[in-house]
């Protein structure tokens, strides 16, 4: 009786990469869907150009106001209206008294909308603000 006990040379000696490929494909799909969602949340805006524009200091935490070409107001990318904005500005001002506002307005936004926003944030105690432009070369 010549049977081999424990010497099974017919076993699989390779690593099965199928589960790893499955995981990588799932991660790729999640990344693609997330990237698509993030770009759809951005505000369609064309900034006015100015030759004297300066880059913003990335270390400074600003309130990011945006007004699109349809005069819709956004705060840090989220739609907001003036009625909800006053308590929010008071809270932000209490957290950081020297907070400033960065205002981005589409080139087709009526001038009156920008003035209205500046007046509103100044009435709510935020006196430091800048207007975002695209720097001409």
Token pair listed for 91: 């809270």
Please report, in tens digits, the pLDDT of each residue of the chain (137 residues total): 455 555 555 667 788 899 999 999 999 988 887 776 554 455 666 666 666 555 555 444 678 899 988 999 999 888 999 999 999 999 988 998 888 898 988 888 898 999 999 999 999 998 888 888 777 76
Token pair listed for 62: 């600003």
What Å distances lie between residue 31 and 17, 19, 22, 102, 135, CA to CA? Answer: 21, 18, 14, 30, 32
**What single string gives the DSSP state of each residue in 9-45?**
TTS--S---HHHHHHHHHHHHHHHHHHHHHHHTS---
Task: Please give the domain boundaries of the chain with CATH numbers for all domains.
Answer: 49-135 (3.30.420.270)
- CB neighbours of residue 24 within 10 Å: 11
Q: What is the pLDDT of residue 58?
A: 46
Gap between the terminal Cα atoms of the chain: 89
Q: What is the pLDDT of residue 16?
A: 87
Q: What is the pLDDT of residue 59?
A: 45
- CB neighbours of residue 72 within 10 Å: 15
**Which helix or strand (DSSP H or E) is residue 102 part of?**
strand 100-105
Q: What is the pLDDT of residue 129?
A: 86
Q: What is the pLDDT of residue 32?
A: 82
């Amino acid at each position: 009786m010549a049977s081999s006990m424990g010497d099974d040379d017919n076993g699989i000696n390779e690593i099965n990469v199928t589960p790893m490929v499955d995981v990588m494909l799932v991660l790729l799909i999640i990344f693609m869907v997330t990237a698509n969602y993030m770009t759809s949340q951005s505000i369609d805006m064309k900034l006015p150009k100015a030759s004297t524009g300066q880059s913003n200091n990335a270390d400074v935490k600003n309130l990011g106001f945006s007004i699109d070409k349809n005069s819709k107001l956004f705060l840090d990318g989220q739609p907001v209206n003036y009625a909800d904005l006053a308590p929010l500005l008071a809270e932000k001002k209490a957290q950081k008294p020297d907070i400033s506002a960065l205002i981005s307005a589409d080139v087709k936004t009526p001038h009156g909308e920008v003035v209205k926003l500046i007046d509103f944030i100044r009435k709510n105690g935020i006196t430091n603000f800048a207007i975002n432009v695209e720097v001409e070369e």
